[in-house]
Chains A and B, each alone.
Chain A
Amino acid sequence: MHELPQNLANGLMLGLMYGLIAVGYTMVYGIVQLINFAHGEIFMIGGFGALTAYLVLPSGVSLWVALPIMIIGGIIASVLVATGAERFAYRPLRTAPRLAPLITAIGLSIALQQVVWRFYPGATKARTFPHFDGAAIDLGPFHLQRNDLFLLVAAPLCMIILGAFVRMTRTGRAMQATAQDPDTAKLMGINTDRIIVIAFAVGAAFAAIAAVAYGLRYGNIDFAMGTITGLKAFTAAVLGGIGNIYGAMLGGVVLGIAESLAAAYIQNVPGMHQLGGQGWANVWAFVLLIVVLLVRPQGLLGKRVTDRA
Chain B
Amino acid sequence: MSIAVAGALTLSACGERGEKKGGSEAAGGSVKVVIGVDAPLTGKLSALGLGIKNSADLAVQKANKEKTVPGVTFELEALDDQANPTSGQQNATKFVGEKNVLGVVGPLNSSVSLTMQKVFNDGKLTQVSPANTNPQLSLGADWGSQKFARPYASYFRTATTDVVQGKFAAQYLYNEAKKTKVFVIDDKKTYGAGLANIFQEEFKKLGGTVVGSDHINPDDKDFSAVATKVKSSGADSVYYGGEYPEAGPLSDQIKKAGAAVPLFGGDGIYDDEFIKLSNNNSNGDLATSVGAPVEEIDSAKAFIADYKAAGYKDPYAAYGGYSYDAAWSIIEAVKAVVADNGGKLPDDARGKVVEAMSKVSFSGVTGKVSFDQYGDTTNKQLTVYTVKDGKWAAVKSGTYSG
Contacts and interface: CB of A to CB of B under 8 A. Distances in A.
B33 interface: no
A218 B217 contact: no
B226 interface: yes
A180 B276 CA distance: 49
B257 A218 contact: no
A124 B256 contact: no
A206 B41 CA distance: 34
B312 interface: no
Contacts of B46: 124-125
Contacts of A78: none
A278 interface: yes
Contact of A136 (B221, B258, B276): B258
B219 A143 contact: no
A126 interface: yes
Given A145-B256, A279-B214, A131 B279 contact: yes
A220 interface: yes
Interface string B129-163: 00000000000000000000000000000000000
Contacts of B219: 224, 227-228
B215 A278 contact: yes
Interface string A209-251: 0000000001110101101100000000000000000000000
In this complex, the member of B42, B46, B277 whose beta carbon has the largest number of chain A beta carbons within 10 angstroms is B277
A179 B214 CA distance: 45
A272 to B, nearest CB: 14
A131 B144 CA distance: 45
A136 B256 contact: yes
Contacts of B44: 125-126, 222
Interface stretch (A3-11, A37-45, A55-63, A197-205): A3-11
Nearest to B225: A263
Interface stretch (B71-79, B107-115, B228-236): B228-236
A285 to B, nearest CB: 11
B258 A143 contact: yes
7 contacts: A10-B224, A124-B43, A131-B279, A133-B279, A220-B249, A279-B188, A279-B216
3 shortest interchain CB distances as A-B pairs: A263-B225, A279-B215, A219-B279
Interface of A: 2-3, 6-7, 10, 13-14, 117-118, 122, 124-126, 128, 131, 133, 135-136, 138, 143, 145, 218-220, 222, 224-225, 227-228, 259-260, 263-264, 267, 277-282
